[in-house]
Structure 1
Amino acid sequence: MNASDRTPADLLRSALAADPGRPLITFYDDATGERVELSVATFANWVAKTANLLQGDLAAAPGDRLALLLPAHWQSAVWLMACHSVGVTVESGGDPAAADLVVTGPDTLEEARACTGERVALALRPLGGRFPQPPAGFVDYAVEVPGQGDRFVPFSPVDPDAPALAVDGAELSAAELVTRARAEAAALGLDAGARLLSARAYDTWAGLASGLYAPLASGGSVVLCRNLAQLADGGLEKRIESERVTQRAL
């Protein structure tokens, strides 16, 4: 990747310039049988649409704080990068009552109601499906995001030294996040073309690093697995073989 990249959004732009067609995230949910593969270009398109929703319809701005109440999921990765594109600070598993906005899955709707700002809900259904019945008081992400623009330009340039991510009781600037992502990639043995299988949750730095940031920083890709414990006996080794996995983070 480009050594001059100082924000996660820079990392994504470099990945897009280098090889837009290569896989970036391959997502499995072993509770539903879902498999979704996103190339760099497809992922970047989702990020652009979500960033436009965040900056435009939700009026989020640099310095705002967003509580992210989502599991390890390809749509969670999209929201992380959309926040980094706008300059919004993401608090993984943050307190909705103390946040300017909240993004939640279906299992934490009641907890998310404590946020007095904008509330966005994701059904986390296969193929990015919407809620059968939209939850009262929430924007249904799957309804709102398709009509957003495919190109995103922030109103203000993202400051690499501004807070970008709060996790594990620590706060990282965008530049610190990139530095730590590169260090994590090295520790995991990732390089360009590596395929890392991660079954870690997104509520810790280790989970976020293996599930998104380290593969992005290294030019690799991630096979992101949710509910891996429900995989049948022998299924993990078959997946590792079929997905050409080179490293694991279990």
Structure 2
Amino acid sequence: MNATDRTPADLLRSALAADPGRPLVTFYDDATGERVELSVATFANWVAKTANLLQGDLAAQPGDRLALLLPAHWQTAVWLLACASVGVVADVGGDPAAADLVVSGPDSLDAARACSGERVALALRPLGGRFPQPPEGFADYAVEVPGQGDRFAPFAPVDPEEPALVVAGAELTGAEVVEKARADATDLGLTGPGSRLLSGLPYDTWRGLSAGLYAPLATGGSVVLCRHLDGLGEESLAKRVENERVSATAL
């Protein structure tokens, strides 16, 4: 990636310029049997649409806080990069009552209602499916995002020295996220472009976020992100590592 990249959104732009067709995020949910593979271009398109929803329909501004109540999931990764694109602070597992807006999965809707601002709900169904019945008081992400624009331009430049991410109580600027992600590469076994990391870690710690998104993005690699991996036996895991051409694991 480019040495001049200062924010996670910069990293994604560089990845898109370098090789838009390569895989970036491959997601497995071993409770449902779902597998989704997103190339850099497809992932960037989801990010652009989500950033347009965030900036436009939800009227989010740089510095606003978004409580992100989602598990390790490909759509969570999209929201993290959309927040970085707008300049919104993604507070992973944050207090909805203290946030300007909230994004929730189906299991945290009651807690998310404490947010007095805009509320978005994700069903987390296979293929990004919508809720059978939209939760009261929430916009259904799967309904709202398809019609958004495929290109995104922020109303104001994103300052890399401003807060961008809060996880496990630690606040990081965009520049710090990029710096830490690059520094993690060796420890995670990412040796450079083309490296493929399988992560079964949750997104509630920096290590989980780094392994499951930021470090592969920062080094030109890709991630095989696995949810409910504890239900997979050793033989099946070994087969996945082989089939997905995984070069390192974080479990």
Asked if these proteins are the same fold (TM beyond 0.5), I'd say yes
Which position in structure 2 is the counterpart of 1:50? 50
| Counterpart residue identity of residue 215, structure 1 | P
| Counterpart residue identity of residue 246, structure 2 | V
What secondary structure is seen at the aligned counterpart in 2 of 1:106? coil
- 1:186 deviates by 2.5
| Counterpart residue identity of residue 245, structure 2 | R
Moved more, 24-33 or 184-193: 184-193
Which position in structure 2 is the counterpart of 1:208? 209
Moved more, 240-249 or 162-171: 162-171
Which position in structure 2 is the counterpart of 1:112? 112
Which position in structure 2 is the counterpart of 1:155? 155
Structure 2 counterparts to residues 67-106 of structure 1, below 5 A? 67-106=67-106
- 1:234 deviates by 1.2
Deviations along 1:69-118, whole A, 9 cap, x unmatched?
00000000000000000000010100000000000000000000000000
2:40 is equivalent to residue 31 of structure 1: no
Distance (whole Å) between structure 2 residues aligned to residue 233 and residue 7 of structure 1:
37
| Counterpart residue identity of residue 133, structure 2 | Q
Greater than 6 Å deviation, 4+ residue runs = none
Which position in structure 2 is the counterpart of 1:226? 227
Distance (whole Å) between structure 2 residues aligned to residue 209 and residue 188 of structure 1:
9
Q: TM-score, normalised by structure 1?
A: 0.99
What secondary structure is seen at the aligned counterpart in 2 of 1:116? coil
Structure 2 counterparts to residues 165-180 of structure 1, below 5 A? 165-180=165-180
What secondary structure is seen at the aligned counterpart in 1 of 2:176? helix
Moved more, 156-165 or 232-241: 232-241
| Counterpart residue identity of residue 106, structure 1 | P
| Counterpart residue identity of residue 66, structure 1 | L
Which position in structure 1 is the counterpart of 2:238? 237
2:35 is equivalent to residue 17 of structure 1: no
Structure 2 counterparts to residues 115-154 of structure 1, below 5 A? 115-154=115-154
Distance (whole Å) between structure 2 residues aligned to residue 186 and residue 37 of structure 1:
25
What secondary structure is seen at the aligned counterpart in 2 of 1:216? helix
What secondary structure is seen at the aligned counterpart in 2 of 1:196? strand
Deviations along 1:182-211, whole A, 9 cap, x unmatched?
001122131110010000001110100000
What is the root-mean-square deviation of aligned Cα atoms in Å?
Answer: 0.6
| Counterpart residue identity of residue 146, structure 1 | P
| Count of residue pairs brought into register by the alignment | 250
Which position in structure 1 is the counterpart of 2:200? 199
Distance (whole Å) between structure 2 residues aligned to residue 158 and residue 14 of structure 1:
16
- 1:181 deviates by 0.6
Distance (whole Å) between structure 2 residues aligned to residue 168 and residue 145 of structure 1:
28
* Structure 1 segments unaligned to the other structure (5+ residues): none
- 1:232 deviates by 4.1
Distance (whole Å) between structure 2 residues aligned to residue 230 and residue 183 of structure 1:
31
What secondary structure is seen at the aligned counterpart in 2 of 1:79? helix
Deviations along 1:129-180, whole A, 9 cap, x unmatched?
0000000000000000000000000000000100000112111000011000
